[in-house]
Chains A and B, each alone.
Chain A
Amino acid sequence: MKLTKKVQCAALAVLLGLSGGALSGCGSSSSSDGRIEVAQWYHDYGEDGTKEAVKKYAEEFNNSQDKIHVTVTVVSGDYASKLNAALLAGNGPDVFESEPSGEHILAGHVAPVDDLFGDALSDFNQNNIQAVTYKDKIYGVPMTDGDGLLYYRKSMLQAAGVTPPTTLDELIAASKKLTTGKVKGLFLGNSGCTQDHIPQLAVWSAGNEIIDSDGNVKFNNDRTVKAFNKMTQLCTSGSLLQGASTDWYDATAFTSGQTAMQWAGQWSLPSVQEALGDDFGVVPWPALDDQGQPATWYGGWYSQVNAASKNIKAAKQFVKWLWVDNKDAQKEWSTKFGATAPVRQSIIDDTPALNKEPASVFMEAIKKYGHLSGGVYWSTSSMTALSTALGNVVNKGADAKTEIEKAATTIANNIEKTKAEAKVK
């Protein structure tokens, strides 16, 4: 009997010990000495050092005053879904970051932050401010931006006697010519023509917008038909790299020499420079033809405050401290981890590296050829409609005009619905 009791007590103790103490890992700190708790979420950037940096900024803030305590969580995996679910449930973080989409804003989950900018407002890239503005209220503080460009191997192009493409026809020709032996000419991503931004680039290269700032559909025309047909030529030419181990957002396919050209992001610049030194150049996505325009996308990440937060004032205070006032942190954030485009002119001016090639090409492209990928009226469903349309044309030989019509209708309906259901007037 005694033994039994001893055993049982021991077991209970083990269980309790496991649940409470040392084995729960270095879990988040509990509320420290009566401060207001503010929870902040980031997604997992993947670049080395980003996790440490964001935690450092929060530490700095916590140490700089004694009323508010910020806890940072870096969420891995499907950040967007998890954030969405948490916001819907009403237990989302007080401060979070988002890409520019209207989803959270229109659902009323985001608090307006106009009052945080003050004089600094004009220093911010107005395109980025516009991206999170709805009915004249600003719903986020831009953190960083970035765009994409076509990276190409100078040596491979020289060897094949090819110049960097400026039109889609030139791209197709170059891609074919650069395909030799096991090396492919172009890598758009493992999904080829329907990968992420590519369908958008197709529309933009023809000189059209997809939707305008009021949510009207603008791409349902012959130019888009021509663009889609050209894309079909490109993607069925057999010169595209497929099945790479890492996707387009990682430059490995390009740096390892598996492909001569790759559509990749600005963030890959450091790793490309490290691997290839000078042996590469960058150009924007080529224009469809002489009536078209070169194109690239931009988007960025925005710091937002949860409208349902129990500590809105504290949350806003933190956001102002970090993303409006703390220019040192902002500069470090946008220049030290991979390469991104700072959203404040003063920081750009202050960073010589950004004014030299090849970084300057990225910065210029955002201004001259950049289109916002996202925005208040854009949604995942609209994106899918567009890429499905292009996918059907390229992979199933569907008629471009019909597919574009279908996509335009779907997107227009989505936007109607969005406007009707907007909880923020």
Chain B
Amino acid sequence: MSSISKNASADLEKSPESAKRRNDYKKLRRRNTLTFWSFVGPMALGLLVFVGIPIVWGIVLSFGNAQTTITPTKFVGLSNYIQVLSDPQFRSSMILVAIFAIIIVPLTLAFSLGLALLVNEVKFGRGFFRTVFFIPTACSYVVASAIWKMSLFNGTSSGFMNTILGWFGVEPIQWISASTPPWYWLVLVTVRLWLQVGLYMILFTAGLQDIPPEVYEAGRIDGIRNKFQELRYITLPLLKNTTISVSLLCLIGAFQAFDEFYNVLGSASGSGSGNLSLAMPPLVYLYNMAFSSQNYGVGSAGAFILTIVIVIFALLQGKLTGSKK
């Protein structure tokens, strides 16, 4: 009995119409898959080769004896990690970059938001002002470093800042090479601010423009009398997402600072000497470790440690600003 019905239903499933439908469906699925990968394939391949593989290889390097070679032959356990963590220069570079980030993130927020608000207030010339604040983007960190190092903050009286100090009878300050007080902080922070404030100002401007005027109307009805209250109770809260984005981008960028340190503090005798020992961020340390000393293992180990620290700080910042990503 059962065998007869089994055969019968099997026959039904094997009917030509449903077979064709199933085939068509499979063909469609396959074609879609091929189409999808024809569009997305190059990107996926690229990420695999240039992000995926490096991450894995980096792990391998960090656990191997990769000195002057990129193909380590021995597994050395945690010794690279221990070596980099016990190097006082690495440790101080981590502290330095953390301080740098703590200084620059709030300053960038303040300036870019401040500029966005100010420009929003005026009636005429908004475009002009926004252009002026944004055009430093056309300069690279190298160009800005050259200007800052050679002319603006030159340590002799031929420098711009020292000339201004001279008007007030103050002796020239060695902005870049003095270790006490550490004026180079001013130099390095202002480079980054000049270059990036305009960009973030635009983000805040967009955020500001997204606030519908009715909200301000409602605020006025509810008793908000002046600009400061408006700022505090309406504008800033509504800009929260933008603020979070800006601080996150700024933080991650600050931790990976390299260009301005390398160029402002660098000297002809190589990137490990001179003023760079005053303020060496992790990326400069890792660069030296990998490309001067050619120790790719320690360099990779240090890089992973830096990444972990970045993630921790980013999460901390998330907690502080109460973000929901």
- Residues of A that sit less than 8 Å from B by CB: 1, 4, 7-8, 11, 46, 77-82, 85-86, 88-89, 91, 182, 190-191, 241-245, 247, 249, 253, 256, 258
Contact mask for chain B residues 22-60; partner A; CB cutoff 8 A; 1 contact, 0 none: 000000000000110010011000000000000000000
Interface stretch among B77-85, B147-155, B229-237?
A: B147-155
Contact A258 B156 (CB under 8 A): yes
User: A243 to B161, alpha carbons, bound, how many Å?
Assistant: 13
User: A395 to B272, alpha carbons, bound, how many Å?
Assistant: 22
Q: Which residues of A contact B41 (CB under 8 A)?
A: 8
New A-B contacts (4) at CB < 8 Å, excluding given A78-B271, A89-B68, A242-B177: A11-B42, A86-B294, A243-B175, A247-B267
Within B291-310, the residues touching A (CB, 8 Å) are 292-294
Contact A245 B294 (CB under 8 A): no
Q: In the complex, which of the residues A91, A244, A258 has the most CB atoms of chain B within 10 Å of its own CB atom?
A: A244
| Interface class of chain A by DSSP | loop
Given contacts A85-B68, A89-B294, A249-B268, contact A243 B38 (CB under 8 A): no
User: A241 to B174, alpha carbons, bound, how many Å?
Assistant: 10
30 A-B residue contacts at CB 8 Å?
A: A8-B38, A78-B269, A78-B272, A82-B292, A82-B294, A85-B292, A86-B294, A88-B67, A88-B68, A88-B294, A182-B156, A182-B157, A190-B274, A190-B275, A191-B274, A242-B174, A242-B177, A243-B172, A243-B173, A243-B175, A243-B178, A244-B156, A245-B149, A245-B154, A245-B156, A247-B267, A247-B268, A249-B268, A258-B156, A258-B158
Q: Which residues of B contact A245 (CB under 8 A)?
A: 149-150, 154-156, 158
Contact A243 B176 (CB under 8 A): yes
The verdict on B140 contacting chain A, using a C-beta distance below 8 Å, is no
Cβ-closest chain B residue relative to A246? B268
Within B104-162, the residues touching A (CB, 8 Å) are 149-150, 154-158
User: A242 to B274, alpha carbons, bound, how many Å?
Assistant: 13
- What is the size, in residues, of chain B's interface with A at 8 Å between Cβ atoms? 34
User: A258 to B158, alpha carbons, bound, how many Å?
Assistant: 9
CB distance from B217 to the nearest CB of A (A): 54
Contact B271 A243 (CB under 8 A): no
Contact A243 B174 (CB under 8 A): yes
User: A222 to B150, alpha carbons, bound, how many Å?
Assistant: 42
CB distance from A242 to the nearest CB of B (A): 5
Q: In the complex, which of the residues A80, A242, A249 has the most CB atoms of chain B within 10 Å of its own CB atom?
A: A242
The verdict on B181 contacting chain A, using a C-beta distance below 8 Å, is no
Cβ-closest chain B residue relative to A181? B157
Cβ-closest chain A residue relative to B41? A8
Contact A244 B155 (CB under 8 A): yes
Contact A77 B270 (CB under 8 A): yes
Contact A4 B292 (CB under 8 A): no
The verdict on B69 contacting chain A, using a C-beta distance below 8 Å, is yes
CB distance from A354 to the nearest CB of B (A): 27
Q: Give the total number of A-B pairs whose CB atoms are below 8 A apart.
A: 82
8 interchain residue pairs of minimum CB distance: A243-B155, A78-B270, A89-B68, A85-B294, A243-B174, A81-B292, A4-B38, A182-B157
CB distance from B98 to the nearest CB of A (A): 27
CB distance from A82 to the nearest CB of B (A): 7
User: A190 to B154, alpha carbons, bound, how many Å?
Assistant: 12
Q: Which residues of A contact B268 (CB under 8 A)?
A: 46, 247, 249
User: A1 to B35, alpha carbons, bound, how many Å?
Assistant: 8
Cβ-closest chain B residue relative to A3? B38
Q: Which residues of A contact B154 (CB under 8 A)?
A: 243, 245
Cβ-closest chain B residue relative to A90? B68
Q: Which residues of A contact B172 (CB under 8 A)?
A: 182, 243
CB distance from B315 to the nearest CB of A (A): 37
Contact B68 A86 (CB under 8 A): yes
Choice from B38, B156, B177, B293 contacting A81 with Cβ under 8 Å: B293
Q: Which residues of A contact B155 (CB under 8 A)?
A: 190, 242-245
User: A132 to B158, alpha carbons, bound, how many Å?
Assistant: 43
User: A85 to B295, alpha carbons, bound, how many Å?
Assistant: 9
CB distance from A384 to the nearest CB of B (A): 10
User: A8 to B41, alpha carbons, bound, how many Å?
Assistant: 9
User: A276 to B176, alpha carbons, bound, how many Å?
Assistant: 29
Cβ-closest chain A residue relative to B69? A89
User: A190 to B158, alpha carbons, bound, how many Å?
Assistant: 15
User: A89 to B294, alpha carbons, bound, how many Å?
Assistant: 9
Contact A190 B69 (CB under 8 A): no
User: A244 to B38, alpha carbons, bound, how many Å?
Assistant: 58
User: A11 to B39, alpha carbons, bound, how many Å?
Assistant: 13
User: A77 to B262, alpha carbons, bound, how many Å?
Assistant: 12
Contact B175 A4 (CB under 8 A): no
Contact mask for chain B residues 62-99; partner A; CB cutoff 8 A; 1 contact, 0 none: 00000111000000000000000000000000000000
Contact mask for chain B residues 239-263; partner A; CB cutoff 8 A; 1 contact, 0 none: 0000000000000000000000000
Q: Which residues of A contact B293 (CB under 8 A)?
A: 81, 85
Q: Which residues of A contact B272 (CB under 8 A)?
A: 78, 81
Q: In the complex, which of the residues B149, B150, B271, B293 has the most CB atoms of chain A within 10 Å of its own CB atom?
A: B293
Q: Which residues of A contact B178 (CB under 8 A)?
A: 243
Cβ-closest chain A residue relative to B45? A11
Cβ-closest chain B residue relative to A78? B270
User: A8 to B270, alpha carbons, bound, how many Å?
Assistant: 44
Q: Which residues of A contact B292 (CB under 8 A)?
A: 77-78, 81-82, 85
Cβ-closest chain B residue relative to A187? B156
Cβ-closest chain B residue relative to A183? B157
User: A91 to B67, alpha carbons, bound, how many Å?
Assistant: 13
CB distance from B133 to the nearest CB of A (A): 28
Cβ-closest chain B residue relative to A258? B156
Cβ-closest chain B residue relative to A4? B38
CB distance from A362 to the nearest CB of B (A): 22
CB distance from A58 to the nearest CB of B (A): 25
Cβ-closest chain B residue relative to A256? B158
Q: Which residues of B contact A79 (CB under 8 A)?
A: 270
Cβ-closest chain A residue relative to B158? A258
CB distance from A157 to the nearest CB of B (A): 21
Q: Which residues of B contact A8 (CB under 8 A)?
A: 38, 41-42
Q: Which residues of B contact A82 (CB under 8 A)?
A: 292, 294
